[in-house]
Amino acid sequence: MRLSDVHFGMPFEQFQLVLPLGLWAVTLILLSPDERSGRSAPSDIAMSDFHDAIAHSALIDARYVGSPHTWYSRRLHQRLDRVLISSCWMIVFPKMQVAHLELSQSDHRGLLVEVECTVERKVSSFRFQHMWTMHSEFLGVVRRNWQYPTVGSGMMRLQQKMTRLKHCLKEWNKMVFGNVFDKVAAVERGLKEADEAYDQDPCDRTLVERNQCSAELVRVSAQDPIAIKDSAASFFQRLLTAELVFPEEMDSEHLEDGLTNEDRRSLCVMPTLQEVREAVFSIDPDSVAGPDGFGAVFFHTYWEIIFEDVFGAVTEFFRGVEIPRGFTTTIISLIPKTASPTCSSEYRSISLCNVTNKICTKLMTIQLGHVLLKVISLSQSGFVQGRLLTDNVLLAHKLVHSIESHRPDANVVFKLDMAKAYDRVSWEFLYQVLRRKDFPQRWIDLVANVVLQCWFSVLVNGEHAGFFHSTCGLRQGDPLSPALFVLVADYLSRGLDRLFAAHPTMYFQAPGRIQNMELLRDFLRAYERVSGQLINGMKSSFIVGRQASSLQTQAVQYAPGLGNDESLPWGEAGLDSKCVAGHSVTSASACFLVAESRLGVRSLADYVRAFSMKLWWRFRGKSSLWSEYLHGRYCRNLHLTIVPYNHNHSPVWHRLYCIRDVAEPFLFWTLGEVFLWRLFQDRISVDARMRQKGFSFPSKCQCCEAEEIVSHLFIESTAVQGMWQHFAALFRLCLCDTGSLTNMVHFWRYSTPFHSDLHIRTLIHFLILWFTWTQRNAAKYRGVPFSTDGIILEVQRHLRTLYAARTLTSTQWKGDLHRATVMGFLFRQPVPRAPSIIALGTGTSVLAELTTVWRGLELALTHGLAPLVVEVDVTTVISLLQSRAFGKWEVQHLIMRIVRLQQLLVADIQHVFREANGAADHLAKEAASP
């Protein structure tokens, strides 16, 4: 506080309200001539007035130690910084002094207030220091201590070695590094002597010898630290040691998806040494250590020394051996949620776990991550690999934007907050969820081994308070806890889905009706009873549309009991234009380069543009609930690059709409395994091919006893031939002996006179080849029996997926578009024995029209009908005949014949509308009908 903040001469009682104990003053006025060195003497009148002001305010100039001057210029030194204290301060701190610190980068000295008070000595705990790893002798110390023989095996042996190494490192640190605080004090004394030498002789030599130094003392006092520790420890002990009450039986219909047998087997696989190493090195080396004091940097640096013991402990854990208490002991670190917390509930608890425990749970998390997506709903995106929480944020933004959609009753959006969500998870409920999702019992036992053996201490003011065993909850800080909590929360997500499906009016007709709110309340209360969770009514809230009346708002608030109304400020004005006007420099001009005399900052518009392109990329290439919703809401049967924009669309969709033309050219499909190219180049690793490269092993086809070669595997084997016959029958093809893969492709492509490059018949044989290869690999390397029925099912499933993804269109599923054609023509005058209907077989429509004109002209020439007028209802035929255009050989051949007959018969070929040519069309349709 500066002297300008108070008024000298104010009564002492008012001054105590401003500063109860003391005052730090910075002034330009001196108290005595000795406080200035150089130039002229200070003003006597100013010093007298300053004396009177201090005396009238009942303040005392605190005594100091060190240099008499606190401000320095080249030729003038003065004491411009001082500490003024009151009599109350002197009573509380009788032995108080002010130290004038050494000069740093500022021309003012720092003032350090030193007081004597009783400080309770705290017991220091062991912490592995990074600086130890830089000492040349430290590696040898660790190696020698770790190689001493130890009784026991597995986790117990690892814990004993780490405890022994801890005591060794404490002694080694005292001998090598000594007391760090004593060394710091010695350095400070040296700096003080150098500063005094400069005051006595301010020359270049003493200026160079004086080092820059800064010091700051921060002291936080507590009235009763013992009571605070006991209060924090008892609060978390009550929270984590709830009475063991078995929850109600859950509704199994809320948990539909379960694991397959293959997934169950993958969870029971023992981790390898390489997997353990990857798990160890995936832990942040700068993460806070647990109670044992060994951080991840110790395991990273000395892995080559300790890896055998670590791997042995991990192997023993995955065999089901009970985990020791030293592994699972956890420190609860308190992070304040508010600026001034007043109770333990206003702190967020973070569990500091031992690295040895993290290694085991990290491996379990990796195993669970491979199957987690199969057993949770799309709405679960937090802490799930491959999903982003921003997808749900975007979806919530879209729903809030649509809150004003017209319904009989108002729409409602709820925000639910779970009080101490991790700490309240019921273990029995967690086990029920894992069992209902078909997790193997062996893996559930591993989860129980981790959560049942947890012991906690609370870290309060640097000391450990309490030591208790938990009976519920998950540790925040354990790598496995987020994934387990996602499984627990999935019960709530699926339960809400089933609730809305059973009562459609909750979503489609009257979301805000009181009966629907009561159904929601009953479900949430049931979820609290079975899971141990508790909805925090103080932080939960709801939003209703502006069409809702006050009675409807009160009904919604009363029924669920979910906090206050936080509806959007409909119709309120935004910022006044005067608040954002009048800037002398525009943001656009500040975003140029520094070389152009600008600030060089990046434009916010560029940030928005870049993130919008990333959002478009996620919308195009990723599968999420948000992208699926936007596809169904806006795209439907249109491709997303041609969807028009409407002013009623959400802001997020408008953002995507504005960026799609810019982002679309930069999107590229990733290259696959080029299997087909390798197959036709004879580069796939069948047994015969591997033997040609020098590998010696017996060759056996997976579906019979013959040697495995390319032609046998994909064409000649009995099982594969039956599969080809199955698909050929679907297209009514007569399968012949092709002999090679190239001939097989040509057969499927040109099996009919007319073909299309994109028709499903010309593409399906590639899928057959690919899934034959995957079935062969599954039989050879995983022991799965080779099954042609499995290949057929995989091809059909993949075709359905392609159609659902709109990669295949409906036209590609239709039969050949070149249908059977019938020629029909009509002469205006009687012609004896002239046929009016002739079958033409299969062909294109243009070829049929040209053939009809040619055959009609031939009949006219035979019967001597010249000159004549030919009426055709297809403009394409008229254009071809007039332009004499070149095309396919059969079309060009017909054009040449028609032109020659047209010259002989002096025929005039004209276009008429289809209605005028109805008689000929009727004849053709009659002939084509069965």
pLDDT at residue 19 in the model: 47
Express as a percent the part of the chain with pLDDT over 90.
6
Q: Which of 48-52, 505-509, 523-527, 620-624 has the highest mean pLDDT?
A: 523-527
Region 490-496: what's the mean pLDDT?
87
Region 853-862: what's the mean pLDDT?
82
**Closest residue by Cα to residue 612 from 574, 539, 666:** 666
Region 190-207: what's the mean pLDDT?
61
- Mean pLDDT, rounded, of the chain: 75
Residue 463: its H or E element: strand 463-469
**Closest residue by Cα to residue 22 from 50, 59, 54:** 59
Tens digit of pLDDT for each residue in 705-751?
788 888 888 888 888 888 888 888 887 777 766 677 877 777 777 66
For the whole model, what pTM was predicted?
0.57
Collapse the DSSP code of 215 into the 3-class scheme (helix H, G, I; strand E, B; otherwise coil) and give the result.
coil
| 470 Cβ contact list (under 8 Å, min separation 6) | 240, 241, 451, 454, 455, 456
Residue 654 confidence (pLDDT) above 90: no
pLDDT at residue 575 in the model: 46
If pLDDT is split at 50, 70 and 90, which confidence band does 826 have?
low
pLDDT at residue 360 in the model: 92
Residue 678: its H or E element: helix 675-680
Query: Rounded to the nearest 5°, which phi and psi values hold at 312?
Result: -65, -40
d(CA 762, CA 768): 12
Collapse the DSSP code of 889 into the 3-class scheme (helix H, G, I; strand E, B; otherwise coil) and give the result.
helix
Backbone conformation region of residue 381, classed left if phi is above 0, alpha if psi is from -120 to 50, else beta? alpha
pLDDT at residue 511 in the model: 55
Beta carbons of 446 and 328 less than 8 angstroms apart = no
Collapse the DSSP code of 240 into the 3-class scheme (helix H, G, I; strand E, B; otherwise coil) and give the result.
helix
Cα angle, residue 94 at apex, residues 90 and 100 outer, rounded to 5°: 85
Tens digit of pLDDT for each residue in 580-630?
455 555 666 666 666 665 666 777 888 888 888 888 888 887 677 888 888
Region 110-117: what's the mean pLDDT?
78
pLDDT at residue 280 in the model: 92
If pLDDT is split at 50, 70 and 90, which confidence band does 222 have?
very low
pLDDT at residue 318 in the model: 92
| Cβ atoms < 10 Å from Cβ of 210 | 19
Tens digit of pLDDT for each residue in 70-98?
887 767 788 888 888 877 777 777 778 88
pLDDT at residue 725 in the model: 84
pLDDT at residue 3 in the model: 40
d(CA 215, CA 180): 16
Which has the higher per-residue pLDDT, 289 or 28? 289
pLDDT at residue 642 in the model: 77
- Residue 791, both tokens: 């290949």
| Cβ atoms < 10 Å from Cβ of 908 | 11
Query: Rounded to the nearest 5°, which phi and psi values hold at 132?
Result: -65, -35
**Closest residue by Cα to residue 744 from 752, 735, 753:** 735
Which of the residue ranges 588-597, 758-767, 799-808 would you say has the lowest mean pLDDT? Answer: 588-597
Provide the strand spans (E) within 800-852: 820-824, 837-842
User: Which residue carries 């609930």 as its tokens?
Assistant: 625
Which has the higher per-residue pLDDT, 406 or 307? 307
Region 297-306: what's the mean pLDDT?
90
Tens digit of pLDDT for each residue in 153-177?
888 888 888 888 888 888 888 888 7
Express as a percent the part of the chain with pLDDT over 70.
71
| Cβ atoms < 10 Å from Cβ of 578 | 7
Region 58-69: what's the mean pLDDT?
80
Core vs surface per residue 17-27: b (16+ CB within 10 A) or e: eebeebbbbeb
pLDDT at residue 225 in the model: 47
| Cβ atoms < 10 Å from Cβ of 663 | 18
Which of the residue ranges 103-117, 214-228, 774-788, 861-875 would you say has the lowest mean pLDDT? Answer: 214-228
pLDDT at residue 582 in the model: 53
Beta carbons of 300 and 310 less than 8 angstroms apart = no
Residue 223 confidence (pLDDT) above 60: no
For the chain, how far is it from start to end, CA to CA, in angstroms? Answer: 105
